[in-house]
Amino acid sequence: MNIFRDPVLLIAFGFGSGLSPRAPGTCGTLVAIPLFLLLQQLSLVPYLAIVGVAAVAGVWICSLASAKLGVHDHQGIVWDEIVGYWITMAGIAVSVQTVVAGFILFRFFDVVKPWPIRQIDRSVAGGLGIMLDDVIAGVFAWVVLNSLLLAGLV
């Protein structure tokens, strides 16, 4: 199946980044960075609206992609990582330090999956399950990043 000919798979696979043979989730998160740099030029309300639409649409996109591939949460589906990173960076002033810290924090929570992320990952099926664990990982990363910023550590 050629993902470049199917718009749903193209988006689900993070415009091709999910095809990486190593660490496709990390590659998908890397794709999120330039997209974030475009989105962050918006004020907070439109930014959050776009991220919200991307998250809700992601449920459908990831569900449809999984069905087409015949695999639940195929490792190449990285739209959830893209949206998760955007959540991590919501309202954060852009600097090299914040972009990198947000990337590291989001990947940490996405990979380690502390409670309740792991529980949700294991118990919620379909596109909602694919998206929800990354949405929550993004929220966790956002909280930690804001805490680090408030403490002057980033």
**Residues near 143 by beta carbon (within 8 Å), at least 6 away in sequence:** none
State pLDDT tens for residues 98-141.
999 999 999 999 999 999 999 998 999 999 999 999 999 999 99
Give the predicted TM-score (pTM) of the model. Answer: 0.96
Nearest to 80 by CA among 93, 100, 66: 66
pLDDT of residue 23: 95
| Gap between the Cα atoms of 130 and 121, Å rounded | 7
The number of distinct structural domains making up the chain is: 1
Nearest to 12 by CA among 56, 74, 77, 57: 77
Domain span including residue 40: 3-150
The two three-digit tokens of residue 12, written as one number: 């689900």
